Structure 1
Amino acid sequence: MSGGATTSEARVVDPDVLPARPPVVAVPAAGLVPAPAAAAWLVGGVLVAVVGLVAGRPEVAALGLPLLLGLVVARAGWPAGGARARLRAADQTANAGQLEAELVVEAAPGAPLLGVRVDAPGHRPREALVLARDRVVAVRMRSVRTGSRPLFQLDARAADASALLLGSVSSQPAVVMTVLPSTRALRALPLPFRLQGLTGPHGSRRAGDGGDLHDVAPFRPGDRLRRIDWRVTARINGQAAAGAGQPGAVSELYVRRTFATADATVMLVVDSRDEVGPRVDTWGDASAVDEDEATSLDLARFAAASVARSYLEAGDRVGLEDLGRLRRPSPPAGGRPHLHRLTQQLALARPEGEPTRRQRVPRLPSGALIVLFSTFLDDDPARLATAWRGSGHRVVAVDTLPPLVTADLSARQRTAFRVVSMDRVDRIADLARAGVETVTWQSLGPEHDVAAELGVLARRRVRR
């Protein structure tokens, strides 16, 4: 499809697609329907034959026979199975806001034409007439929405070459597609207060095998020989030997100790209990959100996938907790396959009924950095973030409420929105006072530089 969500059309992309008449997949012969042209042939043939017989003019009556024979021949040549069409689609990432499915056409002799009608949420239906031969036709639409959603509904109908016979209309239910969130590269990211592991991409505060110099100390059992600093050993032993009158004597070895490296454990917490769009008058009805409007959950998926990708590419371990589902969180792990698993889980995160309150604070790995993605329209995510911060975690709260449009609100709705908005502002202010760091992520595009805000947090490593 092209254009905005409310004005664009489902686009069938194929060189042999013709502008369609009313939608005409064909079915067995028992489901045949005469076309308007067939009715005209039948009426014309019968009328001419009757007039000729009544008038006693056999040559006139014979003029109606070709019309009637044409109908018989067309009916006899109709294939038993008819041409067929079906839609298929695979999980995909919305590249530049474009989604694609495939219209698979299966040919049948005697029904060379196939009329198709493709519909998609938020778009005008697109009708086309295609040549019914074995082929695959691309079907595209534009959308910034993600998640598992029903898309691309198909109605199809076959016709013969003479357009005298049509197959019954065949409808395929909307194809359910899982649209994965795209990602954005982030330069610098905050780290937990305490790093874990024996190796990793980040410098820790304990001595061990690393790159940055910690100090120079006397050799002890267990120290590696390659760590011996011969220059320091020679200088210190030389000074000691000169003072004792025994030049050249080496009494003690010295080694260079470095700061150890470690990896970070990061837990992404996504609040999927509700999903709101930018237009406040659509809150409570997610189906009213247009395809070119990113919801709060679309932003949360995109932000969480971007953060996960950046940490995993740096060699850290990332896990996922979904506040909308009462199940065990995905444990922290690393690697590209784990990124794919996390992206799939994010795409499947969605509201399930009314938002519920977590009675118990989810237990997350000790010392992990917690990144919470929420709209903070109720108290529950703020309560959990405060509890995690109080237990010693470093918590970063990412506000995923999109820029709001309130122009169409009534006076009563506007008053209710002001109350909700003031409560939300107070909640975020309380988080800052509790030591929770906050970031705003309101766009899928590059116009809002979230990386700059995260870079500021990355320079803070002191426990507050």
Structure 2
Amino acid sequence: MKRAGDARLGAYAVLAAAALVTALALRRTELAAIAAPFALLVALGVRAQPPRLRAWFELDRERALEGDVLDATVTVRSDQAVDRVEVGLALPDGVELAGGRNPVALRLSAGEERELPLRLRCVRWSSVEIGEVWLRTRDQIGLVRFEGRIDRRRPLKIYPTAERLRILVSPAHTQAATGSEVARLRAEGLEFADTRPFVPGDRVRTINWRATARRGSLVVNERHPERNADVVVFLDSFAEARTSDEGTLEQAVRTAATVASRYLERRDRVGLVAFGGILRWLEPGGGLVQQYRLVDALLETGVEFSYAWKDVDVIPARTLPPRALVVAVTPLLDERSIGALLDLRGRGHDLVVLEISPEPFLEPGRDRSDLAALRLWRLQRAELRARFERLGAAVATLDDEITMEEALEGVRAYRRHARLVQR
């Protein structure tokens, strides 16, 4: 623990010095006697030593979801008696106190150990370190204050809560591995496709006996196989619109985590490209381990300021496999990310754009020029969406009034009726 500044000790030192100087100047011994108590207090305060305090921090787990409540314990021990010690746990952004007292004042005997139970609530997704314990105490006469920090930090990953989605966007192409997506081709599978005349080599179990009886010749069933797909989540982290509490990046990460989790549940291979000032990528993979890798990579994503121009050529080729579905989560605010998405579509990638609307974070003025600028900005964004749709890329806008399920239903309707541009 370190000695902290104390106004009273300084005031006593000034009084003692003033009394001594006055006694010497006036040659009055009684003034020196008056200064003696103050000088004694200053001497005791200067020689005061901090007590030996130790602290530990325990957390019941290192991974949690938004809204979860964690049990934590701060343990304090003193090697000597302390009349009053203040103990406080520093809480990082995204964590708040749900139960217990923080900070708290204690009285400890020599060798006494005290446990302070706390309940912490995870209010928003983040990757933080928690466990910084602050201690504050005074000397025996209350003149000198001592403060110390004991670093017992440990990582805590708060995962965003995934929304419930009944149906996802089906990719235009599937891969060869078995999955949950019904492929367009016809082969061994469960989903009925059509019937056709029997040819040598067909299995007997594929014969449709009712159709055979009606037509008088052997007829077999054709089916759609179940395949998996390669999905790449493209997260735009070049720019964001935000208020003091939340911004488009928080919503984008939550949306990207939901998309990745739901596709992984269907046994698809999912990858990640965080396209921003710092490029992060994760090659497509499947399983629970891949899900943890994806969410951990999303938690590390932040808006990094950069003037450098970047295009899709900086993305490793294996991160964007052929015939993959690219789901872009973006506020459509930076020309570099917009140009990269248009380039991806121009190269033939199956593209879906989930726009995180920045409009709820705007505070437009009330005069006529501000309102005209807002209308012009809205027209520009509408033209940009139409540009993507002319290229065959569906655009869905997510805001406070439109849920993700509703937005994806609009994407599915567009992809059912629109002719995808093939290059």
Q: Find the aligned partners of 1:329 and 1:82 in 2 and give their Cα distance.
A: 45
Asked whether 1:204 is paired with 2:183, we answer: yes
Asked whether 1:135 is paired with 2:115, we answer: yes
Correspondent of 2:263 among 311, 334, 343: 311
Deviation at 1:273, TM superposition (A): 2.0
Closer, same or farther in 2 for the Cα pair 1:400/1:210, shift >3 Å?
same
Deviation at 1:316, TM superposition (A): 1.9
Matched AA of 1:392: G
Q: Find the aligned partners of 1:235 and 1:418 in 2 and give their Cα distance.
A: 64
Correspondent of 1:457 among 411, 415, 421: 411
Correspondent of 1:186 among 142, 157, 165: 165
Map of 1:110 onto structure 2: 80
Deviation at 1:371, TM superposition (A): 0.9
Map of 1:370 onto structure 2: 326
Matched AA of 1:458: R
Map of 2:399 onto structure 1: 442
Deviations 1:363-410 (A, max 9, x none): 422111111111111222222222222233321111124412416899
Deviations 1:290-319 (A, max 9, x none): xxx221111111000111111111222211
* Greater CA drift, 413-422 or 453-462: 413-422
Deviation at 1:277, TM superposition (A): 0.6
Deviation at 1:143, TM superposition (A): 4.2
Matched AA of 2:229: A
Closer, same or farther in 2 for the Cα pair 1:344/1:123, shift >3 Å?
closer
Deviations 1:168-195 (A, max 9, x none): 2013579675433221111111111122
Map of 2:147 onto structure 1: 169
SS in structure 1 of the partner of residue 178 of structure 2: coil
Matched AA of 2:406: A
* Residue correspondences, number: 374
Contact 1:147 1:349 (C-alpha < 8 Å) held by counterparts: no
Matched AA of 2:105: L
Deviations 1:197-238 (A, max 9, x none): 2422122221111123332332433x44433445656776xx
Contact 1:373 1:400 (C-alpha < 8 Å) held by counterparts: yes
Contact 1:374 1:397 (C-alpha < 8 Å) held by counterparts: yes
Q: Find the aligned partners of 2:367 and 2:115 in 1 and give their Cα distance.
A: 52
Q: Which has the higher contact order (CA 8 A, sep 6+)?
A: 1
Q: Find the aligned partners of 2:56 and 2:8 in 1 and give their Cα distance.
A: 23
Closer, same or farther in 2 for the Cα pair 1:383/1:36, shift >3 Å?
closer
Deviation at 1:345, TM superposition (A): 0.6
Deviation at 1:106, TM superposition (A): 2.9
Map of 1:269 onto structure 2: 234
Deviation at 1:147, TM superposition (A): 3.3
Closer, same or farther in 2 for the Cα pair 1:231/1:94, shift >3 Å?
closer
Q: Which structure shows the higher strand fraction?
A: 2
Contact 1:85 1:156 (C-alpha < 8 Å) held by counterparts: no
Q: Find the aligned partners of 1:185 and 1:124 in 2 and give their Cα distance.
A: 26
SS in structure 2 of the partner of residue 190 of structure 1: coil
Map of 1:53 onto structure 2: none
Closer, same or farther in 2 for the Cα pair 1:374/1:174, shift >3 Å?
farther
Deviations 1:242-289 (A, max 9, x none): xxxxxxxxxxx65433122212221100011223313xxxxxxxxxx3
What TM-score, normalized to structure 1? Answer: 0.65
Percent identity over paired residues? 24
Contact 2:96 2:123 (C-alpha < 8 Å) held by counterparts: no
Closer, same or farther in 2 for the Cα pair 1:100/1:232, shift >3 Å?
closer
Deviations 1:129-168 (A, max 9, x none): 1455342432646743x334577865312468x7758772
* Greater CA drift, 413-422 or 176-185: 413-422
Asked whether 1:341 is paired with 2:289, we answer: no
Map of 1:82 onto structure 2: 53
Q: Find the aligned partners of 1:99 and 1:130 in 2 and give their Cα distance.
A: 25
Asked whether 1:227 is paired with 2:202, we answer: no
Taking only aligned residues, the RMSD between alpha carbons, in angstroms, comes to 4.6
